[in-house]
Amino acid sequence: MPRSAVLYLRVSTSQQAGDERFGFDVQRQAAERYATQQGLRLTRTYQDVITGTKATRTQLNALLEDAGNYEAVLISSVDRLARRTGIAYAVLEELLDTGMEVHSADMGVIDPKDEMSALNFGVRSVFAQADHMRIVKRLREGMRAKVRRGKPVVPPSGYGWQAGEIFEEEAGWIRQMYAWAREGKTAHEIVTELNRLGIPRRGGARWSHSTVKYTLRNPLYKGVYQFGRARKGRGDGRDLVTCEVPAIVSPADWDATQRAIDARTRGGRPASRMDASEFGLAKRVKCGACGSTMSSATNQPREGHSRRNPYHFYYCYRIYRRDGYWGEPCPHRRYYGARKLHAQVREQLEQLQLDDLALAESTTYQPPEPVDLTPALAQIERKLTRAREAYLGDVLSLDEFAQEKRRLEEQRQALLEAQQEEASPRQLPLKEARAKIREALRKDSIAETAQDLGLSLTLYPDGRADLRIDPL
């Protein structure tokens, strides 16, 4: 009597579905010929349209859910499981764990316990991965060759272009942005002006700081299309190829804009007012009034002033009205000396070691997520059902069935106990937390101490300070 089997088909893209070499029909015909020879009755087909380099697949997951209804699963060839060796073995293991036999039309039954079958599968999966790598390399080389011949892989279609052609309605604003930058306007000032004038981006979105910075630095606007990338740390640009496209900004204007931007960031004023050695809690201090991350700054003493040392402090930058910000100024107008604040934080950490209640309230503790054991328990139930059916069909003796049943029930009980233990509430391990604080406080740098403890600090206008740590 023919055994019930399910057919699994996969193509990488929808265009391949009807392909004469890899399409669904070709796979189905090869599988049906094999099924007829081996006495398998194909009762259902599952088919995925997804690359073989991904392990998560909708129809494969559905097949695994329905596995109890079939005795075997059939594929047309090993590379239909995956194009990467690691994923191929992972998918094979998932299928075998359901209790089904796995057949491939190009090699027969895949049995990892059989030396020759395991070797055959391994060789075929390695060749499938090598073939995939050759295809990817050939496609990428084809794209590079196209760029070398003077044609972009994809015609420019960003702001300023439409279908590879310059769109003057937008290109005029690109040129205006570059002109503003050469005049000395910052990206922030350009954003403010564009939004004030009501110049929309594609889709009606407002302009942002990052979009303007990217636009001003993109060589595509001077007519240079780039494909690939220079390898990190080498700067040789060996993987980078370029070709010419219509230029929105002249190369001379583009280069002048780059010099103007570089002069602002490297020239008369520093790019940042923050001295990392003086501001160890930078980006860790929040304003309790508006929720913003507090800024850090240094006031240098004026010539002839009695105070000779610079004053380093944290403050909420939203106390000032700024272009591009339409909200009300923040009422938190206090300034916090960096050295004094750092000392207070250290003192508070010392106190936490002596007060368990305060330590528990100040610590963010997220117990490990419990493992979902439902699939494993369902799999044991399926194995018990198959063992019972094997006994009723005289495939297993009574002793063999009893031994298998006892083994599976022990596994199930162990999983249930583990599940119950996972569900029990987890308490903050105070001893470990104190040890972490003690070790972190040995560091000379407040920045290292804060890093080790995952420290954050919220400062309120009334003087309150909410210290939070995540040491575990």
Kindly name the residue from 4, 12, 208, 306 that is annotated as catalytic: 12
Tell me the C-alpha distance between 193 and 173, whole Å: 11
Tokens of 189: 């000032």
* Residues comprising the chain, all counted: 472
Tell me the C-alpha distance between 417 and 410, whole Å: 11
Asked if 264 and 189 touch (Cβ cutoff 8 Å), the reply is no
Q: Map residue 65 onto helix, strand or coil.
A: helix
Q: Map residue 316 onto helix, strand or coil.
A: coil
Core vs surface per residue 408-446: b (16+ CB within 10 A) or e: beeebeebeeebeeeeeeeebeeeebbebbeebeeeeeb
Q: Which strand ranges, in their side-by-side order, compose the sheet holding 465-468?
A: 285-287, 456-459, 465-468
Position of tokens 């981006």?
Answer: 201
- How many C-beta atoms surround the C-beta of residue 94 within 10 A? 16
Determine whether 12 is an active site residue. yes
- How many C-beta atoms surround the C-beta of residue 472 within 10 A? 15
Burial of residue 221 (CB within 10 Å: 0-12, 13-18, 19+) is buried
Q: Where are the beta strands (DSSP E) in 305-412?
A: 311-315, 336-337
Tell me the C-alpha distance between 48 and 57, whole Å: 7
β-pairing verdict for 72-75 and 3-11: parallel
Core vs surface per residue 43-53: b (16+ CB within 10 A) or e: eebbbbbbebe
Active-site residues, by number, are 12
